[in-house]
Amino acid sequence: MSALAQWLSDPASWWGPGGLLARTLEHAGYSLGTTLAAVAVTLPVALWVGHTGRGRLAAVQLANIGRAVPTFGILLGAFVAFGYGLAPVYAALVALAIPPIMVNTVVGVGQVDPEVREAAEGMGMRGWQVLLRVELPLAAPMVMAGVRTAAVQVVATATLAAVVGLGGLGRPIVDGLAQGAAYSPRAQAMVVTGAIAVALLALAAELGLSAVERALTPPGG
Amino acid sequence: MRFMRKSAHRSRWVAMLALVLLVATGCGDSQEVAQEPEGGDDTERGTVVVGSTNFSEQEIVAEMYALVLEDAGYTVERRFQLGSREVVLPALEQGEIDLYPEYVGTALEFLSGGAGEATSDTAATTEKLRERFADKGVAVLEPAPAQDRNGLVVTQETADRLGLETVSDLEAHAGELVFGGPPECPQRPLCLQGYEEAYGLEFAEFRPLDAAGPVTWAALENGDIDVALMFTTQGVIEDKGWVLLEEDAELQPAENIVPVIREEVLTDEIADLLDGVSARLTTEAITALNREVDAEAADPRSVAEAWLQENGLIS
């Protein structure tokens, strides 16, 4: 326990270039970047599928198969393909984030009451207007729930970036293990603080995005 | 709203089922690790667990140990690529593995906490290592002639630009250079700590990568790091046209490859088998085998097997 206290009281553990603050910012950066990239890639496709109803089953099933593909495998495969850098991390985490966003958006838009849709069309709205002004607002809480699920998974998994030599909160975990977490209290302290920090960041993502989700829920919905 | 939830639930179950299947098939594979003994005689021989740390040379040499033991009729369980010495050594002390290949100098400095006892004298360094290991119930067998030291590697372009030939040439430039190596390097007396003390190298940044493996190579090639910690027996240095900087302050001691084994499992016969491998293992031999695995993507087991057969060490 004293080694943990010692490691925690060393300013370099917190504020240095490889300190916990810098690692947390890197981790948040990877997570935010990959989640946004997944939203940008998935949302247009998922909205179109949900709106037209074309290929809905295929999209949902493909997404579910995607959930079964191990992120670690994608990471190492992409490392072999792209080499050192952010590309393998983005490939792995975006692939992790796509399925929940895809499923929730397709289902969310698809579940909009057909009568509401018909009413909108009856008012003279075009297809894209129905989608953006009626279906998307009604599906927003569901879409947001998908984004929240994706973001929490991404935060918890972005530790893998350390395996291919990048930063983030996987760094203290991987480095602590390599530096002797089996017996060195200092190395144990690194692993434990890294793990706790990841858990806290994931919790923060969960709480923050839940608040957004609630704000997007129409009253009485 | 109700239907939505149901469908989300169902998809979660499908995903979970797929995961369970993946894990189940994965488990099936790992049960095939133990090998059946092949020797024909009636003597009852036990199971020996051979381990290795996390780079290809370790796996090649550990395979050599495993294959000669199997050839003599032992049942061998392979636990390779376990991690750094900081992971593998406790595994040996706790009896999770019975033996693995070590390097006399680095092992001694590791056990002594950087007391500076390791020298370029192989015999003296090995003797000191035996003393350090004695109270842990671990025996150090005869070291091979093959040596594999830590070394600093730069690209030809960096060497030309900064006029680098020796490690001390780095001193004037270290402040602008990024150094990449294994995550345990900053805590190691013969790694970052040693280069700081013996050469006064204060790099701009240390980047934790892997044990001189593919991540390190890619980072050096990309220019994400300027200087890489690598191993002197790595054929990849020559293949890529990189420059291994000459050691001029003699930081790196004798680093002969040596089997370290728990005394509980050590018998004269096992010692003879492993010593037989070490006697033939030269720096040139292991460098050539490393190149086959690293550059030509050969399988460590077949590389080790072919070498043992060439040298008449297995039938």
Is B8's CB within 8 Å of A107's CB? yes
Least confident of A17-21, A36-40, B219-223: A17-21
User: Looking at the structure, do residues B128 and B92 belong to the same domain, yes or no?
Assistant: yes
User: Looking at the structure, do residues B131 and B258 belong to the same domain, yes or no?
Assistant: yes
Least confident of A14-18, A23-27, A82-86, A191-195: A14-18
Alpha helices in B1-99 (DSSP H): 2-30, 56-71, 85-93
Distance CA A89, CA B12 (A): 24
- CATH code for the domain of B269: 3.40.190.10
**Dihedral class, residue B80 (left if φ above 0, else alpha if ψ from -120 to 50, else beta):** beta
Contact list in B for residue A60 (CB cut-off 8 A) is 11
List, edge to edge, every strand of the sheet that includes B227-231.
B205-208, B178-181, B227-231, B150-154, B243-244
**Partner B contacted by A166 (CB < 8 A):** no
- CATH code for the domain of B211: 3.40.190.120
**Partner B contacted by A70 (CB < 8 A):** yes
Distance CA B291, CA B234 (A): 7
> Which residue of chain A is at minimal alpha-carbon distance from B14?
A64
Within a domain: residue B289? yes
- Stretch B86-94: mean pLDDT, rounded? 94
**Partner B contacted by A79 (CB < 8 A):** yes
Rounded to a whole number of angstroms, the distance from the CA of A129 to the nearest CA of chain B is 23
Within a domain: residue B295? yes
User: Looking at the structure, do residues B87 and B220 belong to the same domain, yes or no?
Assistant: no
SS3 of A13-51: HHHCCCCHHHHHHHHHHHHHHHHHHHHHHHHHHHHHHHH
> Which residue of chain B is at minimal alpha-carbon distance from A81?
B218
The DSSP call for residue B158 is H
Nearest CB to B15 within list A67, A104, A111 = A67
**Partner B contacted by A81 (CB < 8 A):** no
Residue B15 has pLDDT above 90, yes or no: no
pLDDT of res. A48:
95
Distance CA B180, CA A168 (A): 17
User: Looking at the structure, do residues B142 and B156 belong to the same domain, yes or no?
Assistant: no
Helix axes A136-157, A86-110, angle to 10 degrees: 150
Residue B8 has pLDDT above 80, yes or no: no
Collect all residues with Cβ–Cβ distance below 8 Å to B302 and sequence separation of at least 6.
none
Nearest CB to B90 within list A80, A171, A182 = A182
Q: How many CB atoms are located within 10 Å of the residue A138 CB?
A: 18
Nearest CB to A165 within list B11, B205, B209 = B209
Number of structural domains (chain B) is: 2
**Dihedral class, residue B145 (left if φ above 0, else alpha if ψ from -120 to 50, else beta):** alpha
Residue type for B214, please?
P
CB B150 within 8 A of CB B195: no
Q: Are strands B150-154 and B243-244 parallel, antiparallel or unpaired?
A: antiparallel
Within a domain: residue B204? yes
User: Looking at the structure, do residues B85 and B116 belong to the same domain, yes or no?
Assistant: yes
- Of B206, B188, B205, which Cα lies nearest the Cα of B197? B188
* Residues B55, B56, B61: CA angle, nearest 5 degrees: 110
User: Which of B215, B220, B225, B294 best tests the A interface by mutation, with the highest count of A CBs <10 A?
Assistant: B215
Contact list in A for residue B83 (CB cut-off 8 A) is 177-178
**Partner B contacted by A162 (CB < 8 A):** yes
Distance CA A40, CA B290 (A): 44
pLDDT of res. B36:
46
Within a domain: residue B315? no
Query: Residue with structure tokens 């240390």?
Result: B206
pLDDT in tens, B191-250: 999 999 999 999 999 999 999 999 999 999 999 999 999 999 998 999 999 999 999 998
**Partner B contacted by A73 (CB < 8 A):** no
User: Looking at the structure, do residues B62 and B192 belong to the same domain, yes or no?
Assistant: no
CB A62 within 8 A of CB A75: no
The pTM of the full predicted model, rounded to 2 decimals, is 0.83
Tokens describing residue A25: 């910012």
Is B19's CB within 8 Å of A68's CB? yes
CB A14 within 8 A of CB A20: yes
Which sign does the torsion angle of CA B120, B121, B127, B131 carry? negative
SS3 of A3-23: HHHHHHHCHHHHHCCCCHHHH
Residue B10 has pLDDT above 70, yes or no: no
Predicted-complex ipTM score: 0.84
Contact list in B for residue A108 (CB cut-off 8 A) is 4
Q: Which of B186, B216, B244 is the last residue of a domain?
A: B244
- Stretch B74-84: mean pLDDT, rounded? 96
Distance CA A197, CA A200 (A): 5
Is B83's CB within 8 Å of A183's CB? no
Is B8's CB within 8 Å of A104's CB? yes
User: Which of A67, A84, A183 best tests the B interface by mutation, with the highest count of B CBs <10 A?
Assistant: A84
List, edge to edge, every strand of the sheet that includes B99-103.
B75-79, B47-51, B99-103, B257-262, B138-140
Is A182's CB within 8 Å of B91's CB? yes
pLDDT of res. A15:
86
User: Looking at the structure, do residues B263 and B169 belong to the same domain, yes or no?
Assistant: no
Share of chain B above pLDDT 90, in %: 82
User: Looking at the structure, do residues B190 and B57 belong to the same domain, yes or no?
Assistant: no
pLDDT of res. A17:
79
Domain that holds residue B162: 150-244
Collect all residues with Cβ–Cβ distance below 8 Å to B43 and sequence separation of at least 6.
B73
- Stretch A52-66: mean pLDDT, rounded? 93
pLDDT in tens, A101-138: 999 999 999 999 999 999 999 999 999 999 999 999 99
Within a domain: residue B222? yes
Rounded to a whole number of angstroms, the distance from the CA of B182 to the nearest CA of chain A is 8
User: Looking at the structure, do residues B55 and B129 belong to the same domain, yes or no?
Assistant: yes
Is A179's CB within 8 Å of B183's CB? yes
Rounded to a whole number of angstroms, the distance from the CA of B259 to the nearest CA of chain A is 21
Residue B24 has pLDDT above 70, yes or no: no
If residue B229 lies in a helix (H) or strand (E), which one and from where to where? strand B227-231
**Partner B contacted by A77 (CB < 8 A):** no
Within a domain: residue B77? yes
User: Looking at the structure, do residues B119 and B170 belong to the same domain, yes or no?
Assistant: no
Q: Which of B226, B244, B262 is the last residue of a domain?
A: B244
Is A184's CB within 8 Å of B86's CB? yes
Rounded to a whole number of angstroms, the distance from the CA of A6 to the nearest CA of chain B is 16
**Partner B contacted by A101 (CB < 8 A):** no
Within a domain: residue B19? no
Residue B19 has pLDDT above 70, yes or no: no
User: Looking at the structure, do residues B134 and B61 belong to the same domain, yes or no?
Assistant: yes
Q: Which of B221, B244, B267 is the last residue of a domain?
A: B244
Distance CA A18, CA B187 (A): 14
Is B224's CB within 8 Å of A84's CB? yes
Is B11's CB within 8 Å of A103's CB? yes
Banded model confidence at residue A220, pLDDT cuts 50, 70, 90: low
Is A180's CB within 8 Å of B184's CB? yes
Collect all residues with Cβ–Cβ distance below 8 Å to B287 and sequence separation of at least 6.
B233, B234, B235
Within a domain: residue B84? yes
Is A84's CB within 8 Å of B222's CB? yes
User: Looking at the structure, do residues B123 and B269 belong to the same domain, yes or no?
Assistant: yes
> Which residue of chain A is at minimal alpha-carbon distance from B2?
A111
pLDDT in tens, A135-190: 999 999 999 999 999 999 999 999 999 999 999 999 999 999 999 887 888 899 99
CB B93 within 8 A of CB B138: yes
CB B214 within 8 A of CB A79: yes
